[in-house]
Amino acid sequence: MQALQVIDGSVLEGGGQILRNSISLSALLGKPIDIRKVRNGRKPPGLKNQHRTGIELAAEIASATLTGATNGSSTVSFAPKQITPGNYTADPVTAGAATLLLQISLPILLFAPSTTASTLTLKGGTNATNAPQIDYIQHIFLPFARRHFGLNVDVDVRRRGYFPKGGGEVHVTVFPGVEGAKLTAASVLERGAITRIGGIAHVAGLPAHLAKTMADSAIARLAASGFTPDAAVPVPVEIASTREKNENTVGGGSGVVLWAELAGGGMIGGSAVGSKQKDAVGVGEEAANELIKGLEAGGCVDEWLEDQIIIFMALAEGTCEVRCGKHGLTLHTQTAIWVAEQLTDAKFDITVQDSGHTIIRCRGIGYTP
């Protein structure tokens, strides 16, 4: 067994991301860790239901000895043994984000020693604030990760879950590569033209016309900013509007996720979640404004994709390089890099171009089980 490594959970953004990335890397590398001052940057600090559920899921997959995994705990010890492929279920019994359960478990299962797929049944919130919506994972993160890292993952949303009732259900199929396969190194430096803008506006437990209103308002906002099929260089804009069947949701809710596909292989997203305080027009405009902001920043990835790919850059073989926007690296991205460098031999190099764009380069460890 390797020596215990202590991770300071209060560093930089001091939230749940340190927990998720540290546990994933611990499981893959067989490194026992203590995470102290868990979520020290949050009020209240310590584990919440969804964090505990995610750690317990990772412990089950990695046959880990786990201590301190109780709600409110500020110290967690995780000692992995062996990653076992299989069929796993996790349920925070709240509106806790199913996508955050995926973030902690996906890197582990990608390298399960098997030639057959593993499955995850993840329950909770599918479309919540303070976490990627499941549609972001389906239409932005996974297409990017498939193209540039070679991930082979399918996501099927069986039931949507909104705050505060949750109750969503997502089925994930993780196909491992052949034994000994490594993640490919992503090189995404050239942005190229916007080739398409896609999106989905969804409602559940609410009138169907609200979804169309959100989609139409997003299209109108994009058109006002010059992203329109009538522009000199036409950009197809296709935003679907859907209403979930009553039996496919618990409670009501709504949301919008938009994405811009770039010729150079990049993806930029924008999203918004509905609430009683927002009208449908405002929700559509909010998502469009976020997409416009990401496009105007000039990177090949948006600020959310930017931090989610760091762990895969660290695990990949060779040198990854990704052009980010002019906003500078987010605290989440800086934190993900810090965790990766604490637990792996990956080396990151951050440069800011004269144009203001930030380039992340990483010499990955070429991880194999």
**103 is annotated as contributing to ligand binding:** yes
- In this structure, how many other beta carbons lie within 10 angstroms of the beta carbon of residue 360? 23
Separation in Å, CA 129 to CA 97, 271, 279: 9, 10, 16
Q: What is d(CA 83, CA 179) in angstroms, rounded to the nearest whole number?
A: 14
Instruction: Based on the residue annotation, tell me whether 332 is a catalytic residue of this protein.
Output: yes
Which DSSP string corresponds to 225-274? TT-STTSSS---EEEEEEE--GGGEES-EEEEEEEEEETTS-EEEEEEE-
- DSSP designation for 89: E
Q: Which of 148, 202, 332, 357 is catalytic?
A: 332
Please give the single-letter amino acid code of residue 129: T
Burial of 123: CB neighbours in 10 Å, binned 0-12, 13-18, 19+: buried
Nearest Cα residue to 295 out of 255, 330, 258: 258
C-alpha 316 chain-centroid distance: 18
- Of the chain, the end-to-end C-alpha distance in Å amounts to 15
Sequence ranges of the binding site for ATP = 103
Annotated binding site: 103
**Catalytic residue list:** 332
